[in-house]
Amino acid sequence: MATNGTCNGFHSEKNIESSGSDVKPGSCVLLTGGTGFIGSHAVVEVVNAGYDAVVVDNLCNSNQDSIERVEKITGKTVPFYQVDILDSAGLREVFTRTDANDNIDGVKSHEPEETSVASVTSGTTGTTGSSVKPGSCVLLTGGAGFIGSHTVIEVINAGYRAVVVDNLCNSNRESIQRIERITGSTIPFYEVDILDTAGLRGVFARHQFSAVMHFAGYKAVGESYEKPFEYYMNNLQGTLSLLQVMKEFGVYNIVFSSSCTVYGAQQFLPADESHPTGNCNCPYGRTKYFIEQILYDICNTDKHWNAVLLRYFNPVGAHPSGLIGEDPLGVPNNLMPFISQVAVGRREKLRVFGNDYDTPDGTCVRDYIHVVDLACGHVAALKQIAADCNIKAYNLGTGVGYSVLEVLKAFEAASGKEIPYEIVSRRRGDVATIYGKPALAEKELEWKATRGLKEMCEDTWKWQSLNPAGYLTSENSELSKSQ
């Protein structure tokens, strides 16, 4: 970040960016944790080297007296802000200061801004696995999205009460209204980002949750290469924000929407839960792997917690009513919604990324699972949590792989439409073949996928043909008339 010459502070102008060449004596360096052991000594050397130094520290394991002593050693004034790095608003205020003498002690324990959901004191009693039973209340983060919306239905069908939190960055509130039509139930909905810890506290204060199903997160392999910072920020920090609030309110049960991408390039097929994890080939997969490791660490050190990690393969299909389905904002990143949008006339043709893989027809092979089967797997996971499982991981798939061209042909048969396509170069991050072994889920969760590729394609086509513009389809459409 550029500085204004002699100023010890920071520019607030968003269009002024720093480059490596800006780092030179006379420029300003921020040191987080700068009152601590290593940080305080670093401040001395930074100042001695001719840079201006600014310090941020929450003083949880240090003392502000160290800054006064640094100033005595260097003969320089060192602006200090008592701000926690978890306090994003406080950090923003530090970065917008342009005058070293501008109330440098004024940023202390910055209070979060008010949200649309009131923030109140957290609860004192904790949930156990046995509290997760029909009639109890389950929070679904990202519950307005593709998988989340279908899971809300199955949660309600199983006798639980459901509450949804979603920031609507890749979903539509209309899905909640349609879920209510399908189930005949009212779904409390809060437009809150999981990064908004104060907003989450407000939601938890209004309901007594027995468990959380965590779907909220960015999920496109290709996009994660282009926006790694956004993926790590949203998926990792968002999950930590959620876990923090869960702990504050004594809600220790979570079903996590993980992914088969945690396996990376598969070392053996079909992959079961013993397959090595962590060799992920994309930022998206790494976020899922890191979250899994966080949950393992938490559950292994605090026996209050129960977590079920559901490693999805490739969810497709739609609710058989045709009321809800996959409706990505912008260009679809996944195969089935792209094919269906071509079939309905929204896209010109399908691009097939590579036909030179070591597969029967040269195109990538994936394990596709009907989204309703996947949603039922989440309800089965609640039963495992009810038994105080501590932490368990399960594959959710069919165990059968289909190539891109096989899916295309099956969709043509289901829709009666010819799907034009072209072969283009491989897409970064794609591996040739992925399919899993779901035997453990069948044994321990008493769950098994029952819908095949034919039903996946038929239900996707029903959804897309009745909703050619997705949830933006006019209320005067044939769908609305038929319900």
Cα–Cα distance between 313 and 377 in angstroms, integer?
Answer: 13
Cα–Cα distance between 95 and 91 in angstroms, integer?
Answer: 6
Cα–Cα distance between 202 and 385 in angstroms, integer?
Answer: 25
Cα–Cα distance between 343 and 335 in angstroms, integer?
Answer: 12
CB atoms within 10 A of CB 211: 28
DSSP code string of 427-467: PTT--SEE-B--HHIIIII-------HHHHHHHHHHHHHH-
Describe the chain by its helix, strand, coil percentages, rounded to 5. 40, 15, 45
The residue from 231, 232, 252, 284 that is catalytic is 284
DSSP code string of 296-361: HHHHHH-TT-EEEEEEE-EEE---TTSSS----SSS-SSHHHHHHHHHTTSSS-EEEE-S-SSSTT
Token readout for 112 is: 């979060």
Q: Is 471 a catalytic residue?
A: no
Containing 56, the helix (H) or strand (E) segment is strand 52-56
Which residues carry out catalysis?
A: 284
